[in-house]
């Protein structure tokens, strides 16, 4: 059996000291949004308690689906690097970047340098994404939808070149019999698209999954727990989102902080996968198992 933990939308707080020169362009609107709204909804203690509970599960691998930062300031990226090292070793942890990690041009490249092996793995064509991590018979395939966007937009992009690489990777892993888990920050299913914060290229992503298949797609971005499905090569593929890991209780829009734990094993020629969702309820101070369901 392999256990996989999934956590997302870390949004490390509090915001570090910022100077006037840091707040040019989109960062100014993001800073104002943080001060007026988000700083009361993202909580350091909440995140710390949730991560401690997750680490007690001793998962074999942890997937982090983006938005470790808020404005992608260099100091935030560096703090996120320290947070990742506290979370676990790079051999047992992989990140796919979120839109806040690519908030302005150059930010994602800086994160790739600072976060190092957490954002690296086996690749093809010498391109950073998708990259692959293999753990036993499970393969983590980390894609990137993170691009800089204008103020008031939080869209992601998934384009044909990355799609072609993803298709080749999924075919190779599928032929080899791996349980393929695809990570992407923005949800790829049609139900969760929006002009200002959806995934440009969601149809391209779904086409690749329909043609080559996968066993599981994990995402963040919405700050809500969700389960959808998209067509796969031989079966419907679960698309599972998780609430923001630092979301405080009492928020009006977001679900309280949660993480998911998957137990994956092969029985004969068939996969078995069970998901448990842990986290806070809207009332009460305890972290509880909110749901258990069989995926396969």
Asked whether residue 229 carries a pLDDT value surpassing 70, the answer given is: yes
Q: What was the pLDDT predicted at 263?
A: 98
Asked whether residue 89 carries a pLDDT value surpassing 80, the answer given is: yes
3-state helix, strand, coil in the chain (%, to 5): 30, 25, 40
Asked whether residue 45 carries a pLDDT value surpassing 70, the answer given is: yes
Asked whether residue 18 carries a pLDDT value surpassing 90, the answer given is: no
Asked whether residue 31 carries a pLDDT value surpassing 80, the answer given is: no
Q: For residue 17, name the pLDDT band (cuts at 50, 70, 90).
A: confident
Asked whether residue 239 carries a pLDDT value surpassing 90, the answer given is: yes
The secondary element (H helix, E strand) that includes residue 141 is strand 138-142
Q: What was the pLDDT predicted at 250?
A: 67
Asked whether residue 290 carries a pLDDT value surpassing 80, the answer given is: yes
Asked whether residue 64 carries a pLDDT value surpassing 90, the answer given is: yes
Q: 93 — phi, psi (to 5°)?
A: -145, 135
State both tokens at 244.
């923001």
State both tokens at 283.
């009332």
- The rounded mean pLDDT for the chain is 92
Q: For residue 20, name the pLDDT band (cuts at 50, 70, 90).
A: low
Helical spans, DSSP H, in 97-232: 107-115, 160-175, 202-212
Residue bearing the bigger pLDDT, 141 or 31: 141
Q: Pairing relation of β-strands 2-7 and 258-267?
A: antiparallel
Residue bearing the bigger pLDDT, 32 or 171: 171
Helical spans, DSSP H, in 176-262: 202-212
Q: For residue 21, name the pLDDT band (cuts at 50, 70, 90).
A: low
Asked whether residue 188 carries a pLDDT value surpassing 70, the answer given is: yes
Segment 115-133 shows an average pLDDT of 96
Q: Is 158 helix (H, G, I), strand (E, B) or coil?
A: coil
d(CA 112, CA 281): 34
Segment 201-224 shows an average pLDDT of 97
């Amino acid at each position: 059996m392999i256990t996989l933990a999934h956590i997302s939308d870390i949004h490390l707080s509090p915001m570090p000291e910022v100077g006037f020169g840091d707040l040019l362009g989109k960062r100014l609107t993001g800073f104002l949004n943080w001060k007026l709204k988000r700083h009361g909804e993202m909580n350091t203690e909440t995140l710390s308690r949730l991560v401690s509970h997750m680490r007690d599960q001793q998962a074999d691998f942890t997937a982090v689906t983006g938005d470790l930062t808020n404005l992608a300031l260099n100091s935030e990226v560096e703090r996120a690097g320290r947070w990742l090292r506290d979370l676990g070793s790079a051999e047992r942890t992989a990140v796919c970047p979120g839109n806040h990690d690519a908030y302005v041009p150059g930010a994602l490249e800086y994160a790739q340098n600072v976060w190092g092996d957490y954002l690296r793995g086996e690749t093809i064509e010498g391109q950073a994404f998708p990259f692959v991590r293999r753990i036993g018979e499970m393969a983590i395939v980390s894609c990137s939808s993170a691009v800089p966007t204008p103020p008031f937009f939080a869209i992601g992009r998934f384009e044909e070149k990355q799609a072609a690489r993803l298709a080749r990777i999924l075919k190779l892993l599928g032929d080899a019999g791996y349980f393929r888990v695809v990570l992407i920050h923005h949800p790829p299913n049609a139900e969760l698209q929006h002009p200002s914060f959806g995934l440009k290229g969601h149809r391209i992503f779904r086409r690749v999954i329909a043609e080559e298949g996968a066993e599981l797609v994990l995402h963040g971005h919405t700050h809500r727990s969700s389960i959808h499905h998209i067509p796969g090569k031989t079966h419907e593929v679960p698309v599972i989102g998780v609430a923001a890991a630092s979301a405080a209780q009492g928020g009006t829009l977001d679900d309280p902080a949660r993480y998911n734990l998957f137990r994956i094993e092969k029985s004969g020629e068939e996969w078995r996968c069970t998901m448990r969702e842990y986290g806070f309820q809207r009332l009460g101070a305890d972290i509880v198992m909110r749901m258990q369901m069989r995926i396969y």
